[in-house]
């Protein structure tokens, strides 16, 4: 009898992935017309929107012809080719009528990244400081604004995230977008680094070190983890664990409404790029907010630079339009190699997350980004 029970258990264990795959297979597809805009595609891996494509496939959102969205093909922006060649496919050459027609046909657009491509990244023979490298392509333009405006008038769903407002978008275009969505970028962006010691972490961007030393008597005193704050005017401020921070990682905290509606945790660590963006429209609901655990010394640095300790992490506007803004690189997460054709894979992942690794972005994706994004899509396409 014991042997039979063991065999049943083993068979069930081995068949479990097959059962979950079959459940995914029989789920109905949702035919949609989704436009992803990604201007920062260095390789055909399409890192900046690959994870969003993973979500579309996992939840079976497909193109109108029934085929799945392809990360290297189905987007607007920069398309890398061989031998430093590339093509641009975007809205820049569209007429107003073409933009309006595209907005009528599009259900959802997601601005995943507008930072762009720079000379030192694209051309192998490039020299000179990376931060002053000439732009090859990037930033929002006037036709992007027209497209957003048309989408909003038609109550279509718009998602955007980190770097939407920032460089290299011009100040004039940025002002138009800010007025359109009722948000205002402060000029500050930031990121947590697990190691600020330049010897221990040779991949720490050299421009951060160079600018900080230039502004702080040629000193770089950091040997631990911490948060780097960067302003659009190139001001650099750094808060280090222990010296300036009681807890080194920004924490995203959510209101009861958000926890209930989107099934996200009350608080969770966020160890990647973020921006400090505030609302100028009372119809923009703050879903979650960042909290920086600065001590007295860290408080002083932040106050002197007008950097708030608490600021929004995600916005929702369902009154003027259907618009969501994530004030961070939320969908840029290294999970896209996870099997997508497994029903409930997100719940299985929750059992193996290591939330003690403060540098790991995957817990934030599985516990916050995925449930929030899936709920946004589900509400919009089913209601």
What's the token pair of residue 272?
């990647």
Question: Which pLDDT does position 26 carry in this prediction?
Answer: 80
User: How far is residue 173's CA from residue 142's CA, in Å, rounded to a whole number?
Assistant: 7
Percent of all residues in the chain with a pLDDT value above 70, rounded to a whole number: 94
Task: Say if CB 230 and CB 209 are below 8 A apart.
Answer: no
* Domains of the chain in sequence order: 24-188+275-299+308-382 (3.40.50)
What's the token pair of residue 146?
């027209």
pLDDT at 6 over 80: no
pLDDT at 254 over 90: yes
Query: pLDDT tens digit string along 88-141?
Result: 999 999 999 999 999 999 999 999 999 999 988 898 775 555 556 789 999 999
Question: Which pLDDT does position 368 carry in this prediction?
Answer: 97
Bridge partners of residue 231, in order along the sequence: 188
Higher pLDDT, 287 or 133: 287
Question: Which pLDDT does position 344 carry in this prediction?
Answer: 81
Question: Which pLDDT does position 29 carry in this prediction?
Answer: 92
47-54 mean pLDDT: 95
Please give the backbone phi and psi of residue 255, each rounded to the nearest 5 degrees, phi first.
Answer: -75, 165
Question: Which pLDDT does position 354 carry in this prediction?
Answer: 81
146-168 mean pLDDT: 95
Percent of all residues in the chain with a pLDDT value above 90, rounded to a whole number: 78
What's the token pair of residue 173?
């275009």
pLDDT at 228 over 90: yes
Question: Which pLDDT does position 217 carry in this prediction?
Answer: 94
Residue 18 C-beta-side C-alpha neighbours within 13 Å: 5
Task: Say if CB 340 and CB 349 are below 8 A apart.
Answer: no
**β-pair type (267-269, 245-254):** antiparallel
């Amino acid at each position: 009898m014991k042997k039979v029970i063991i065999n049943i258990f083993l068979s069930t264990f081995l068949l479990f992935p097959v059962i979950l795959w079959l459940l995914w297979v029989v789920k109905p597809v949702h035919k949609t017309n989704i436009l992803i805009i990604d201007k920062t595609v260095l390789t055909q891996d399409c890192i900046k929107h690959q994870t969003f494509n993973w979500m579309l496939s996992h939840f079976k959102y497909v193109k109108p012809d029934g085929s799945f969205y392809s990360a290297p093909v189905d987007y607007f922006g920069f398309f890398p080719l061989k031998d430093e060649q590339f093509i641009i496919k975007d809205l820049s050459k569209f007429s107003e009528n073409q933009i309006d027609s595209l907005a009528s046909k599009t259900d959802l657009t997601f601005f995943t990244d507008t930072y762009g491509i720079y000379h030192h990244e694209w051309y192998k023979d490039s020299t000179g400081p990376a931060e002053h490298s000439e732009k090859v392509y990037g930033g929002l333009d006037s036709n992007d604004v027209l497209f957003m405006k048309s989408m909003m008038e038609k109550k279509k769903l718009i998602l955007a995230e980190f770097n939407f407002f920032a460089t290299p978008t011009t100040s004039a275009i940025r002002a138009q977008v800010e007025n359109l969505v009722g948000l205002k970028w402060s000029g500050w962006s930031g990121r947590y680094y697990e190691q600020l010691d330049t010897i221990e972490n040779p991949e720490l961007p050299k421009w951060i070190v160079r600018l900080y030393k230039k502004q702080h008597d040629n000193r770089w005193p950091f040997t631990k983890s911490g948060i780097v704050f960067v302003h659009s005017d190139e001001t650099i401020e750094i808060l280090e664990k222990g010296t300036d921070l009681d807890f080194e990682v920004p924490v995203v905290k959510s209101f009861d409404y958000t926890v209930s509606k989107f099934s996200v945790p009350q608080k969770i660590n966020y160890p990647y790029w973020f921006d400090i963006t505030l609302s100028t429209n009372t119809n923009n609901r703050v879903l979650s907010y960042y909290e920086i655990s600065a001590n007295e010394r860290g408080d002083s640095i932040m106050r002197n630079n007008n950097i708030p300790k608490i600021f929004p992490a995600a916005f929702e506007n369902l009154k003027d339009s259907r618009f969501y803004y994530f004030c961070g690189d939320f969908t840029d997460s290294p999970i896209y190699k996870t099997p997508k054709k497994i029903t409930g894979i997100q719940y299985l992942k929750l059992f193996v997350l290591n939330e003690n690794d403060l540098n790991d972005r995957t817990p934030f994706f599985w516990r916050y980004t995925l449930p929030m994004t899936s709920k946004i899509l589900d509400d919009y396409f089913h209601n």
